[in-house]
Chains A and B, each alone.
Chain A
């Protein structure tokens, strides 16, 4: 899958408060970094730490453009790296990141333990560990590590981590304060970290059901980084919920081509199923179904959550959804996972 740089130089984005590099430039430059390091790797002159950094870049592109193929590539690279350097902390740390991306949290934790034993940077290991604690609902442990990082250095990252944790715990006032403080601490010019922060803030408001606030932060994220697929996807979701279905469809259509994440295809199916376009909806539905089946087979831990939502909703297969939600709850026993499971059980029993 090639990044279509040509198609994303069309809009101008300037955040008056925080001047950042135009989002299309930032994405093109991310692509240029990846291509550049690949060239070095091809000559066999890449160092191990550069290779670990390369994996991070591929993961970042995967996250920004919603490209599962990049996550899978990063996982392959990390596996290869640890085969070549099995007793290197940086290599294990890189593999832990890819495993956590696919929600294989126990494997990731064990890599982190080993990475630390082998002398990997304690702060980096703890940052990864905290993110995993947060993902699996062990918020106290996550908070302890985030506070330690915050006490070491008050900066964009440490404040942002505290913001997302409080958001996850639905401590909204505190989360808002940390989000604002984190944003005001930013001293870089790359729009990517800011867009990611705004996206997390928007997600908090979606969970809270305040779609207007969510929309304003999603607008900010896509203004900073127009090619940021998850932000565009959530913005489409919010727009559809607010009745702006044409705008939502216009946002989703390019994502269904550029991204291999079935969420956008499923959203199209959902929106069209509520209009008169039932034939179109059927086609999108079939496409989403096939892709979810494939992903759940390949990465059950990572996609059980979204796949369960899909089959509970437009996929219309509650029994299949139930099994996936149970799997999801095993992997991440969080309140959200429990609520999803309860909704599905209610649907099955109804």
Chain B
């Protein structure tokens, strides 16, 4: 979940499968912003980045909408890109462990080289990077959310089942001084999208990430959609430019979101987000613009996910940096907003923190879980498994 396996393409090629993105002001360094892009769910020890994929962050200045003009942020045409490319691994000295190297190019044109899994990381003027295998910080009872949608009632338990518990991912972590990368006068609000694209021309977008679980929780279920009940829509959504959705599939995305958001809203038996006369859900336009918004003038916060968007919805001023920190229980925040608009109790999935919480020191995400012993035959928790698949 989050964005793990968010479409057929991601499911068949883990190297392009973005699992998560985190964006937050550095808790270590004033005036710095941290970007984290995780790929490759359940990354075993031989997991590598692809040598033909550009792993990148696209960043654009945005402004909150003027009062009475809806919920869509005004997105600038100006764009800053951090781009990471990887080579083919070569044999390490004295052993069979293979090292992969890569480069990260910053928006100011500076490029730094790094070695994957190098604990020292790498740095250039105004920015530093760490790239390598880390423990997956995501925590959420994904199976229960699927089951909830299917049953049209909340199926969360007091103790949730985090299927990503102590599993690993491949992480790209960048921390940079904002003043060295962005033009004076840009900001303080920025919208960020993480992407995997085929490097070179023509550029083909494989996956993208703006907010957690937009694809797997909001777009994936088909049965409520009045227009396309048999369409796997996530890869179509993945291919789109988050800052400028094309016209071809916009109607399909809107229909799916309107339908599924209405199901989530009504899952507690109460409608908190009445649809407008055209059947549009109040969250649809906001979520269709699938990017993460952060205010770099505000200090680090561990629980600020979606706060800027909530302020926009209420027509008030935001108070936090927004974005998303690794320990933020963002899914509970998001589920609560979808289900009761914050009018009711906080929705809990029974999991409140990562298996091992992130630190406040670069590179923030904790080292990977060493491989547990591998049994010949994996055991299946059948009570859960059967329930998940609705049988």
Contacts and interface: CB of A to CB of B under 8 A. Distances in A.
Interface residues of B, number: 58
B53 interface: yes
B373 interface: yes
A25 B88 CA distance: 7
A119 B390 CA distance: 10
A29 B199 contact: no
A84 B40 CA distance: 28
B391 A189 contact: no
B40 A42 contact: no
A43 interface: yes
A301 to B, nearest CB: 24
Contact of B163 (A28, A40, A187): A40
Contacts of A39: 42, 44, 167, 369, 371-372, 374
Contacts of A53: 11
A318 interface: no
Contact of A19 (B16, B162, B198): B198
Interface stretch (A30-38, A201-209, A266-274): A30-38
Contacts of B198: 19, 189
B355 to A, nearest CB: 11
A76 B166 CA distance: 27
B391 A29 contact: no
A103 B218 CA distance: 41
Interface string B144-178: 00000000000000000111011110000000000
Contacts of B373: 42
B90 A9 contact: yes
A46 B142 CA distance: 11
B378 A51 contact: yes
Interface stretch (B245-253, B266-274, B381-389): B381-389
A84 B383 CA distance: 9
Given A44-B381, A48-B386, A31 B50 contact: no
A45 B44 contact: no
B42 A37 contact: yes
Contacts of A21: 13, 15, 50-53
Given A9-B88, A43-B372, A190 B12 contact: yes
B43 interface: yes
Interface stretch (A85-93, A242-250, A276-284): A85-93
Interface in A6-29: 6, 9, 12, 14, 19-22, 24-26, 28-29
A36 B165 contact: no
Contacts of B96: 5-6
A179 to B, nearest CB: 20
B77 interface: no
Nearest to B382: A84
B45 interface: yes
Contacts of A275: none
A32 B377 contact: no
Interface of A: 5-6, 9, 12, 14, 19-22, 24-26, 28-29, 31-51, 53-54, 76-77, 80-81, 84-85, 87-90, 118-119, 187-190, 193
15 contacts: A19-B198, A19-B199, A25-B48, A25-B51, A28-B89, A29-B46, A32-B47, A33-B42, A33-B44, A41-B379, A45-B381, A47-B384, A81-B380, A85-B385, A189-B13
